[in-house]
Amino acid sequence: MGSDTLINATWLDYLLVAIYFGFVLGIGVMARRSVSDSIDFFLSGRSLPAWVTGLAFISANLGAVEIMGMSANGAQLGLPTFHYFWVGAVPAMLFLGVVMMPFYYGSKVRSVPEFMFRRFGTGAHLVNAISFAVAQLLIAGVNLALLAGIVRALLGWPIWVSLIVAGAVVLSYITLGGLSAAIYNEVLQFFVIVASLLPLTLIGLNRVGGWDGLTEKISAASAGASSSSDAPPAEQQLNAWPGEALSGFDSPLLSVIGIVFGLGFVLSFGYWTTNFVEVQRAMASDSISAARKTPIIGAFPKMFVPFIVIVPGMISAVLVAEMIELKDGGSPAGGASGDVTYNDALLLLMRDVLPNGLLGLAIAGLLAAFMAGMAANISAFNTVFSYDLWQRYIRKDHSDDYYLRIGRLATVGATVIAIFTAQIALGYDNVMNYLQTLFGFFNAPLFATFILGMFWKRMTPTAGWVGLVAGTLSAIAVDRAAAAGVFELSGQGVAFLAASVAFVVDIVLSIVVSLVTKPKPAEELRGLVYSETPREDRTDPNEASYPWYRRTAPLAGIALAMVIVLNFAF
């Protein structure tokens, strides 16, 4: 067996993986039995230290997207990938903390569909609940495909067997209570991932001769590239701006606009401000001030995450034989899903530079991230399906037990469906392209409707659902047109364009429809629209009494300054 698998793990590696899951399941069991009121104290989230909720906040997202997607992107495109962090995530997290969070916290909504229902009524609620459920199933498929890739790399099984096994593993993880102590697990996961990716990056840099060695090798590979290579030129890979390789636009000006508006504003703000899997982490804290600081504190570590996910991807592209061949236009065999793709960048680098032991730590971190990620998707699906769809539209007024049973069936059903949606994800050789496409379909129109509905009280219920439907359809239309060859954009340009079109179409249609239909009476909009929400509902009376380093605005200012410096430095 041993020699024909991608990664040769030994008992030592499996021991480290087993220890991690022992910890996670042990915490789950303790949490459910509530062996100590300390556990209740931590789980209820009251007065949890801000660094804990901040780390949980970014860890809930440090899954497939971050680790595999960003390293794949780093391997393929190089430094422009940093925009996802420094133009995308960090400013969006600051915006969430400064502008949106007081409002979420004050209005006490628990989920996106719930906000839609209260703001716009049934139509928008139904559209949003269905599209949210579909999005969760598709993203669960991405996590499952990556998880199966690791199973396959370790054990050498065919991909469909690996998919089924990975699905079964996730189901048992959910059933055994792997999610019941989510905050504990997320913080643990963060440390395990950093503990494995940081050595990977340092050893990788050591192998290529430091940062200078890396840039030299990228330039050399680019200069000697064969004609079938579609890798971008070295100067584009080694400078973050203007990022033509990422946006696919030839003109630097259009590229910058595409990145700032498409990636930065629409996709990232849309993702971070409407993704309640993450926003929930902040809502658990004890005051508006703490809720606002959660994403802002999270932004500090988030700024440095790209160094341990994108840089290893870039190293992999010049160090690992298969990746070099792939980037030179070849199609080497032997990746996690059959042929080598950019998604394998990190796994292959781990194989080449990590000794047994550290390898196990890295595997534990990856398994943890994908499993927790998929489990969170499935649970989010489960909630929306049982309560927002089944209870509201299909079978009302049954017992709690009944809905719990439906929820369990939904969990199993979602896992089975994810095995099929994973097939779609496997069709993309850079999983980041697929994820950004999905975010364009689902998050961009949602963000448009959300932000217009929050700040414009005239927006009507009809406009709510019309905007969502039209936004999603126009994003799909742009994507299909690109797939059919109507126009050509490489990198993630199509996803940025689709997201931007969806956003604009949603806003324009919502305004037009609002002007010809009847708005909700203003008194029903308290807590849902900015101008109708009294100031005391969205400010924290104690905020002014804290020292400056515990107040929202100064922290956000420091984070913003740091991220601007980083943008200029690279």
Q: Which residues bind other proteins (CB under 8 A)?
A: 12, 15-16, 19-20, 23, 27, 30, 32, 34, 36-46, 49, 52, 110-111, 174-180, 182-184, 187-188, 191-192, 195, 199, 203, 206-207, 276-277, 280, 284, 352-358, 361, 375-376, 379-380, 382-383, 387, 400, 403-404, 407, 411
CB of 37 to other proteins, least distance (A): 5
CB of 223 to other proteins, least distance (A): 24
Is 37:206 a contact under the CB 8 Å cutoff?
Answer: no
Is 313:77 a contact under the CB 8 Å cutoff?
Answer: no
H-helix or E-strand containing 118?
helix 112-120
CB of 397 to other proteins, least distance (A): 9
Estimate the crossing angle of helix 552-569 against helix 288-319, to 10 degrees: 20
Q: In terms of CB distance, is 30 or 473 closer to other proteins?
A: 30
- The token pair at 12 is 């030592």
CB of 468 to other proteins, least distance (A): 20
Taking CA atoms, 32 is separated from 25, 28, 36, 40, in Å, by: 11, 6, 10, 10
CA atoms within 13 A on the CB side of 188: 21
334 phi, psi to nearest 5 deg: 110, 15
Q: In terms of CB distance, is 30 or 507 closer to other proteins?
A: 30
CB of 76 to other proteins, least distance (A): 24
Amino acid at 529: V
Whole-angstrom distance, CA of residue 459 vs CA of residue 452: 7
Is 23:188 a contact under the CB 8 Å cutoff?
Answer: yes
Q: In terms of CB distance, is 15 or 220 closer to other proteins?
A: 15
CB of 205 to other proteins, least distance (A): 9
Is 7:152 a contact under the CB 8 Å cutoff?
Answer: no
- The token pair at 70 is 């960003």
DSSP state, residue 231? P
CB of 530 to other proteins, least distance (A): 25
Q: The tokens 């990664």 sit on which residue?
A: 7
Q: In terms of CB distance, is 137 or 361 closer to other proteins?
A: 361
Q: In terms of CB distance, is 157 or 403 closer to other proteins?
A: 403
Taking CA atoms, 525 is separated from 318, 449, 457, 458, in Å, by: 56, 15, 8, 10
Taking CA atoms, 275 is separated from 443, 444, 446, in Å, by: 8, 11, 10
Q: In terms of CB distance, is 174 or 438 closer to other proteins?
A: 174
Q: In terms of CB distance, is 382 or 460 closer to other proteins?
A: 382
Number of H-type helices and E-type strands within the chain? 27, 2
Amino acid at 181: A
CB of 12 to other proteins, least distance (A): 6
CA atoms within 13 A on the CB side of 46: 6
- The token pair at 425 is 């994800």
Q: In terms of CB distance, is 20 or 450 closer to other proteins?
A: 20
Q: In terms of CB distance, is 76 or 273 closer to other proteins?
A: 273
Whole-angstrom distance, CA of residue 513 vs CA of residue 85: 35
Q: In terms of CB distance, is 53 or 500 closer to other proteins?
A: 53
CB of 33 to other proteins, least distance (A): 11
CB of 40 to other proteins, least distance (A): 5
